[in-house]
Every structure is written in C-alpha cells, then in structure tokens.
Amino acid sequence: MRELTEKTLALAKHKGADFADLRIVVGEGTAIEVQDGRADKISTATSHGGGLRVLVDGAWGFAPTNNISPGELAQCVEEAVAMARAASGDVTEPGVVAEVEPVEAQVKAKYRVDPRGVPLADRVAATFELEQRARQQDLTRIVNTRASYADGIGQMYLGNTFGTYIEYESVRCSLRLMVITQEDGIRQWAAEHKANACGYELVQDIDPEQFADQTAQQALELLAGAAPPAGKFEVIIDPQICGLLVHEAFGHNCEADAVWSGNSILEGKVGQQVVAEQVSIVDDPTLPDTNGSFEYDHEGVRAQRHVLVADGILQGYLHNLETAARFGVPPNGAARAMGHMYSPLVRMSNTFIEPRDASREEMIADIKHGLYLKGGNWGYVFTARGQFTCNVQQAYAIENGQLGQLYRNVNISGLTLETLQQITAVGNDLEFRAGGTCGKDGQGVPVDTGGPHLRIREVVVGGQQGLIGQ
C-alpha cells in the first residue's frame, strides 16, 4: 500500500497539486438486530476504497473510488485536480493548510477478543439473550423490544505530500437495547447502549442485569410517571445528560470550521469567560478505553488533549489542517472522516466537564424545590444561535432536599452560554455513558461524552412527545 500511496501522491504533485492526501480503507463488519424474539436483520459486509484530496490554486478537489488499483487511483488524480481547477476561479477564500512535520507510524488496535473469531451463531445468541431477558420482565406491558449488535475491523493507510505515511488498524464493537412499554394508552421507552474501540470482550463483560433488566424496569416505571411540570427550575443533571449538554450545546461551537463560517457563538471569545468559573471543559482523544479515542487523526496529526475551557475561560478551538492555518495556530489533531468516500471534518472525540468536589447527595440536600434529571439519549443544537434542546429519560421532583415524584416525557432547553454560566456546583464523579456516533454534514464518527453531576440554578423544563409518543 505504501508504494501505491506514494506513486499516487507524486502524480498529484506532478499534475499541479500544492497539497494532496490519500486515504485507503479496507474493512469488514457484522450487524445483528433482534426484535420481539425474532432475528430482524443479520448481515455481514466488506468494503475497500480510497479517497484522494488535492489543493490546487487555492481550491479543493476530492475524488473517491471503490477500486484501489493503480489505474483507478490515477483517474482519481485527474478528476480531483480537474475539479479543483474548475472551482479555483470562484473561490473567495483560497484554501490553505498548516504545514506539519511528516509522521511515519503503525497504529495497532487494542482488543482481547477478535470478533471474527467468535462464531456468528454465538454473536446472534448473545443478542437474543439480552432481548429476551428484557422482554421477560413483563410479558403484558412490554410491547416491543429491540436489541442490536455491531462489530467492525479494518485498516486505513494514510499518506500526504508532506511525507506522512500511517497505517491504522481499528476494531469496534457495540450493543444497543430499547424497551417500549404500554399501559392504559400510555407508551414509554428506555434504552441502554455501549460502544467502544475494542473487541468482542465488550459483550462478554456486559452485566446482563444492569443492561437488560434495569432498562426494562425503567421503561415500566415510567408508565406510572406523572406529566412533567413546565417552567424554569433549579435542577441537578446526571453525568449522561451532562455529557449530552456539553457535546451538543457547547462542543459543536468549539469546532473551528463552525467558528470560521460564522456559525458559532464562541467566535472571537478566546480568553474570555464564557461559562461559570468552576467549569472546565476538555476534549481528549487520548483517554484509554473510551469510544472517541484515537492516536492520529485522519490528516496524520497526533491526537492530543484539548482544554477548551479552563476555569470558565475559553482557551481555543478544535482544528484541522485548514482551520489551523486560517487561525494561525498549530493543528491539534481533530480531523476525521466517516470513510474513504468523505473528506475529513473538524470533529470532537471524548468531550466532558472535569469533576470538582461536590457530591450528588450534597447537591440534592441543598435544593428546596427543583428537579433531578437522569439519562438522555439525544439532543439538538442550533450553534449559530446558541440554542439547545436535550431529551431527559427520567425526572424526579426534589422537595426540601428529598427525591419525590417521578415524571415522564421531559426535555430541557435554553441558551447554551446562559445555562452554563448558571452552574452552581460541579460533582466529584466522572462517567462516560454516551459512547456512540456523532453526525455532522452527513458523516458519523465515533465519540464519547460525559462529566459529573451538575447543579444549575435555572433551566427551562417542559414536556415532549419523544420518539414513541406520550
């Protein structure tokens, strides 16, 4: 692959490219879905291809292919260069890249059990077991159960005209379970998921009671939940919602391509206090055993810990080679692509609020009238306006320091910076419970989010129809 990569890049230079990079990807994977006691989908797939990117006369060209033969890659060079030249006359902001020292590296995946070595029948049986275990918690009120499993293993070969050449190996595995309940016209749902850059040990290490039984019980308990109150409340959010909030509401605003295009509320705010003083926000792809981790990004820049906010002060943004050059800062390894058919974008990795010294119990005891919010699986953010909405799976009333009534169908919303400036306590616990895929511009990449419990002085709380219905 190295010889093929270097010949293709040399041809791109010969054709006039000021910069070029090539990613060749080879992989295979399995997906299993079980629903209501039957196998809904079982599939295996292989993929291979390459994506060539060139910068010519200030314009970008990109040509992907599913055929990685020398002739096909040479054709990609012709197409990418022609595309860039055709666009160069209309470019108002010429493309640039920050120069970096060339890197040569081999990245080996870390895993204990290769999924390919586990018989497909065993992987299907394990998925069936979790789905069945959840369904049997209540055969009357549980009306739908869905369990899914996926694994993938692959290699990527990256080279660029700076002289970088990296061979990556990756292994991933994930599990997801959803339980839907119904009683007296009320439908509720609960979900659990786990994903990581690891092998089949992810399945072997799952606690079935926590993963299946507790998920089903949560969906059942929500049937008895009351309709939520609406208004502004003092709240405590758990680590899962903390991670959802910091990723969706704040993290996307730290991606430098959004800042450069004028779609971030953090534009021009480096060095300013943007959130409460006790809040520090980090994006760290170097964390071990975390879903968003990697050693080199997809432009060949070594991964590094990104301190986005320190004690409330904005420190900087996440960059790829182009935004780093535009902002006049060193690249910090935050570029990733979903596959060879896409160009790398600025992306988060493992994004979280650092813990402090408050305990969950102390936070609850200090609230006379408020809400404890627990669990969340999705959120939405309008980065340019600084608005967010986050789903909440469970909400409990807090009255005089005691947990009380359970509420269902809850969400929280507000202005990002205003909400984060009203954080009054940061917990001493740190959890990552939202490993999954983040979507941006049609691309999904592995990420993780987390944090400690937080107490927030005032948040807009309301009801919502959710994914299933009331």
> What is the per-residue pLDDT across 130-151, written as a single tens digit (0 to 9) for each?
999 999 999 999 999 999 999 9
Q: Is the distance from CB of 352 to CB of 251 less than 8 angstroms?
A: no
pLDDT at position 270 is 97
Based on the number of CB atoms within 10 Å of its own CB, is 385 exposed (0-12), middle (13-18) or buried (19 or more)?
exposed
pLDDT at position 383 is 76
CA–CA dist 221, 219 (Å, integer): 6
Picking from 282, 323, 276, the residue whose alpha carbon sits closest to that of residue 420 is 276
Query: Biggest alpha carbon distance in the chain?
Result: 74
Give the pLDDT mean for 423-451: 93
Q: Is the distance from CB of 300 to CB of 100 less than 8 angstroms?
A: yes
pLDDT band at 463 (very low <50, low <70, confident <90, very high): low
- DSSP class of residue 313 equals E
Given a cut of 60, is residue 464 above it in pLDDT?
no
Q: What is the pLDDT of residues 274-285, one digit of tens each?
A: 999 999 999 999
- Cα–Cα distances in Å, from 97 out to 58, 220, 266, 299, 327? 10, 54, 23, 11, 11
Question: Where does residue 199 fall: left (phi above 0), alpha (psi -120 to 50 degrees), or beta otherwise?
Answer: beta
pLDDT at position 349 is 97
Given a cut of 90, is residue 424 above it in pLDDT?
yes
- DSSP class of residue 128 equals H
Picking from 330, 281, 239, 298, the residue whose alpha carbon sits closest to that of residue 446 is 298
Given a cut of 80, is residue 468 above it in pLDDT?
no
Please name the CATH architecture into which domain 2-222 falls. Answer: 2-Layer Sandwich (3.30)
Picking from 282, 281, 255, the residue whose alpha carbon sits closest to that of residue 266 is 255
Return the percentage of the chain with pLDDT > 70, whole number: 98
Q: How many CB atoms lie within 10 A of CB 231?
A: 10
Given a cut of 70, is residue 86 above it in pLDDT?
yes
Looking at this protein, which amino acid is placed at residue 90?
A: D
pLDDT at position 6 is 97
**Token output for 369:** 């009238």
More confident residue, 162 or 378: 162
* Least trusted range by pLDDT, from 17-21, 133-137, 217-221, 224-228: 224-228
Question: Which part of the chain has CATH 3.30.2290.10?
Answer: 2-222
3-state secondary structure of 158: strand
